[in-house]
Structure 1
């Protein structure tokens, strides 16, 4: 049955790991992937962004494929739609672009197919597609998320209204997640695993108790991925040094990189972003806040974030 009115899906970007929280900690950011959807006789995907024009404009579009496959899980065939896409999330820069697209596709299927999915059901579908719950969980729930995916089950807790700001330095070059995963070790010794997991545990406790000094220290002491990925990011240490000299309490690779994300107390993000932009003119520096709402679907005339 064709759609009679337009609606909008808005999905936040995300940063993951935050240092030692490898594949399990995510944070929603106030950069958005936005889909404006209306009925059509065939599937159509359009974007005004040059970066997104490389993708198919029919049902082979990644978001369309996610939507169609999600509906198939529930025995539904979706009515085709015209989807206009706008995105503030740079591709392949460690800011959850693929995760936001997966979540958008699931939300599209849920709305068109009338699936009535809960957030938990959306999370499981998205995690099965993405392979881990950190980015997709943040995009669905908003705020800070800590998740676990084992034995085809996913559990997650989310926390909103965190009192810090973020500044992200986004380079021009991309870094594919697959390439950054290839440098990681296949296994850790028991002692290494204990040290790495205890660091992640303490990071969560520090963030929730607002002990910024300890949180920043734990980000630096990650053993899971940053020691192996930092050599791929030639500018990491320089960004870290400038950021920590200008108000950042913590610095980490954003996801798999190459973007570097810096954490500041409330009120200090704007100044830090200005300093970093003046120091690293070849990068795009963004002053961000945590998105606390997660993905939203609204009728056009009622849409207000």
Structure 2
């Protein structure tokens, strides 16, 4: 990737603009891999994000001779082949063009090959992964570095909240804070290897916009204090290895009570008793997936959480996952260089 600073060549300063122009017009192939993510983790509403080892992979090939601006081919599990293939509706392309507009770039014609392993509208950060992928592709294709802080700002503006996009970008557990100026503070914490993640996804979808619409416009002081105490306890419990405290630390009053009626069986799944090996249960993001932290008995825990959904005739997919500590990863396998041009 071309560095964002000014470089010297033959004794002459070469600007980022000049470097981008110099490489425009030749074939280039780049790839980005972005993890799924879960958010909130119970008490950390719009604050905690955790990257998971399910991935969206997008390969972009610049084809200067192609007549179309962007051609998309997609495949994957969980209905992801139904992702919009028209550039105007595809979130990856929209994010790529958003970043290009902010950077003052015109992107060259390209073809996208999308392989999505993240279930859609299930509370596992599919939209966040698409947004981070698009912004990353803009940087790769242009050859002009977009700092992580800037990329996170773009992604948050598109997503509307920072928790999932920060985890998708940085990997691991990320604690985010949106500040009045419009910026985002994000701190990554290491995740204990001994804590595994069980995700139970009912075969229904809940759009985030609908899940947010059911939330009340205001909450009581008691409920706000309840969540503040437990969100602080969550981070302290992880820091000190007090995993026995996660059960209480994940108790929520701000969003889960209002969302648990969106899917039959969800309320009962969230009320799963404290089984052997189970450390805590929460809604994954806006749902409908249910998240569990566990140290053992993963299969039994997955079955117990699935049972309430199945009793209502809703099938589930159970995934036993590890945390993705790497976040967004990129590969540039270019044959030559091709870049975007400044407008």
What is the TM-score when the length of structure 2 is the normalising length? 0.81
- Give the superposed CA RMSD: 2.2
> SS state of the match for residue 244, structure 1?
coil
Deviation string for 1:65-91 (max 9, x for gaps)? 211111111111111211100111000
Aligned to 1:45: 72
Aligned to 1:177: 208
Alignment of 1:152-171 (within 5 A): 152-163=182-193, 164-171=195-202
Alignment of 1:74-153 (within 5 A): 74-151=103-180, 152-153=182-183
- Whether the aligned pair in 1 keeps the contact of 2:75 and 2:116 (CA below 8 Å) is no
Moved more, 120-129 or 188-197: 188-197
State the number of aligned residues. 299
Deviation string for 1:55-109 (max 9, x for gaps)? 1333542211211111111111111211100111000000001111110110011
Alignment of 1:1-305 (within 5 A): 1-2=24-25, 4-40=27-63, 41=66, 42=68, 43-49=70-76, 50-58=79-87, 60-151=89-180, 152-163=182-193, 164-220=195-251, 222-240=252-270, 244-265=274-295, 268-269=297-298, 272-273=301-302, 282-300=315-333
> SS state of the match for residue 48, structure 1?
strand
Asked which structure has the greater CA Rg, the reply is: 2
What is the TM-score when the length of structure 1 is the normalising length? 0.90
Moved more, 281-290 or 56-65: 56-65
Distance change (3 Å), C-alpha of 1:51 and 1:227: same
Deviation string for 1:20-39 (max 9, x for gaps)? 10011000000000001212
State the 1:184 CA deviation: 1.1
Unaligned residue ranges in structure 2 (runs of 5+): 1-23, 335-343
Distance change (3 Å), C-alpha of 1:235 and 1:162: same
Unaligned residue ranges in structure 1 (runs of 5+): none
In structure 1, distance between residues paired with 2:303 and 2:211 = 29
